[in-house]
């Protein structure tokens, strides 16, 4: 029997649960997020129900600016009307993202003996140093700490030296990997794949049969790798932002 990926809406639910805002609250038809500098995923407003108006958008934008955040909206599959309206209001689109998914077992089998990933219940200093070099600073590490679902932090080693890090969490039987970062000197040596394999192996132990991730669509190399690994495109989203107040 052929495997089918989860729906885009289900994966977006996993994204929100495994990379959560510090606080969420309704604002008319929108759900606002207080990201506390934890990145776009933790800060963008999303449409909660149909039937928005222009004043609803302006109100949401004002509330976001009150949080010292930009007026930022996430546009998911099915948000075409919001996307069009925001475009007419001068919101520019950026960071188009593709969601990929595959059976966890398919990725776990890529574990290689010559490289090792260590799972830890909390972020290690070596992980923080690696993430910092990829602009994943303390505020984003705090996002990882906020996750209430099963989670782990992975440290990747190359020639017994720390060279990569990743974070993975499980929500509703789906594992989502975030913050996968490999030092420049260790790239193109299979460490990224090793970290994914380690994350997928951990996911299987949590009874998470599906493994997923989100990647910027313009990253052709990464998208190509995920497709070669048998991962399927399962959805898309992007952002719209107002550059001027």
Query: Residues 199-220: pLDDT tens digits?
Result: 999 999 999 999 999 999 999 9
Distance CA 236, CA 227 (A): 15
**Are 115 and 156 within 8 A, CB to CB?**
yes
**Band of pLDDT at residue 184, cut at 50, 70 and 90:** confident
Whether the per-residue pLDDT at 161 is higher than 60: the answer is: yes
The string of pLDDT tens digits covering residues 230-244 is 999 999 999 999 986
Residue closest to 179 by CA, chosen among 209, 142, 226: 142
- Average pLDDT of the segment spanning 66-81: 96
As a whole-number percent, the residues of the chain with pLDDT over 90 amount to 81
Nearest-CA neighbor of 213 among 227, 187, 139?
A: 227
35's tokens:
């990201």
Q: What is the pLDDT of residues 166-176, one digit of tens each?
A: 999 999 999 99
In the three-class reduction of DSSP (H, G, I as helix; E, B as strand; rest coil), residue 107 is classed as helix
Geometric angle at alpha carbon 199, from 7 and 40, rounded to 5°: 60
CA–CA distance, 46 with 62 (Å, rounded to integer): 15
Q: Is the pTM of this model over 0.95?
A: no
């Amino acid at each position: 029997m052929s495997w089918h990926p989860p729906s885009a809406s289900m994966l977006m639910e996993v994204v929100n649960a495994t990379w959560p805002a510090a606080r969420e609250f309704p604002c008319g038809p929108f759900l606002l997020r207080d990201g506390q500098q934890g990145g776009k995923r933790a800060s963008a407003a999303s449409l909660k129900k149909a039937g928005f108006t222009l004043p609803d958008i302006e109100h949401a934008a004002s509330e976001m600016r009150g949080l010292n955040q930009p007026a930022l909206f996430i546009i998911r599959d099915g948000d075409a009307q919001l996307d069009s309206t925001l475009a007419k209001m001068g919101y520019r689109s950026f960071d188009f993202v593709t969601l990929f998914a595959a059976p966890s077992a398919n990725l776990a089998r890529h574990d290689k003996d010559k490289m090792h990933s260590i799972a830890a219940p909390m972020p290690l200093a070596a992980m923080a140093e690696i993430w910092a070099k990829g602009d994943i600073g303390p505020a984003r590490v705090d996002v990882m700490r906020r996750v209430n679902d099963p989670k782990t932090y992975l440290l990747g080693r190359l020639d017994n030296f720390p060279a990569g890090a990743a974070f993975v969490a499980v929500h509703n039987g789906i594992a989502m990997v975030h913050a996968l970062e490999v030092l420049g000197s260790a790239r193109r040596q299979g460490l990224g794949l090793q970290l994914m394999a380690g994350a997928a192996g951990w996911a299987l132990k949590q009874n998470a049969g599906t493994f997923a991730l989100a990647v910027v669509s313009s990253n052709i190399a990464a998208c190509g790798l995920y497709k070669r690994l048998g991962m399927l495109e399962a959805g898309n989203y992007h952002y719209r932002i107002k550059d001027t107040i």
